[in-house]
């Protein structure tokens, strides 16, 4: 049943934040809910049940503000508290580190070599 509810929650699952919470982004690149456009949110799978609807409180609010950029998660920190995401605006690709919490203020990745490394592939492990 969880697969159906992830679809009903408009959730493209990026990974686990903890043992019960999934970090989501919009499925198929477009969110059904305009306040979730190009943002991320969490889905508490411990609240999912056998109904076809997403139970109240299972779907978290958007983590970052609505933007015209296309954002995709590249990796989640081992403790589930931060993420690195790619942000595409036109042909300009940038990378940000952000807390996985409401009202997050993403910080642009500026460490030497980090931007280039992220452009070349996916992060396999965060240390």
Q: What is the DSSP letter of 59?
A: B
Find the domain containing 44 and state its range.
2-120
Phi, psi dihedrals of residue 73, rounded to the nearest 5°? -70, 135
Does residue 51 belong to any structural domain of this protein?
Answer: yes
Would 66 be classed as within a structural domain?
yes
Give the pLDDT confidence of 10-57 residue by residue, as tens digits.
788 999 999 999 999 887 666 677 888 888 999 988 887 766 677 788
Does a structural domain hold residue 127? Answer: no
CA distance 21 to 125: 19
In which element (H, E) is residue 82 found? strand 82-89
> Range with the lowest mean pLDDT among 23-32, 91-100, 112-121?
112-121
Number of domains observed in the structure of the chain:
1
């Amino acid at each position: 049943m969880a697969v159906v509810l992830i679809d009903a929650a408009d959730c493209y699952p990026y990974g686990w934040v903890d043992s019960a919470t999934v970090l989501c982004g919009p499925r198929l690149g477009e969110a059904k809910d305009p306040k979730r456009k190009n943002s991320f949110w969490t889905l508490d799978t411990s609240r999912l049940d056998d109904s076809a609807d997403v139970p109240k409180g299972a779907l978290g609010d958007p983590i970052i503000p609505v933007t015209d950029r296309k954002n995709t998660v590249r990796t989640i920190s081992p403790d589930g508290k931060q993420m690195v995401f790619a942000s595409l605006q036109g042909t300009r690709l940038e990378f940000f580190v952000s807390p996985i919490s409401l009202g997050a203020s993403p910080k642009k990745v500026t460490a030497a070599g980090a931007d280039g490394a992220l452009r070349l592939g996916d992060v396999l492990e965060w240390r």
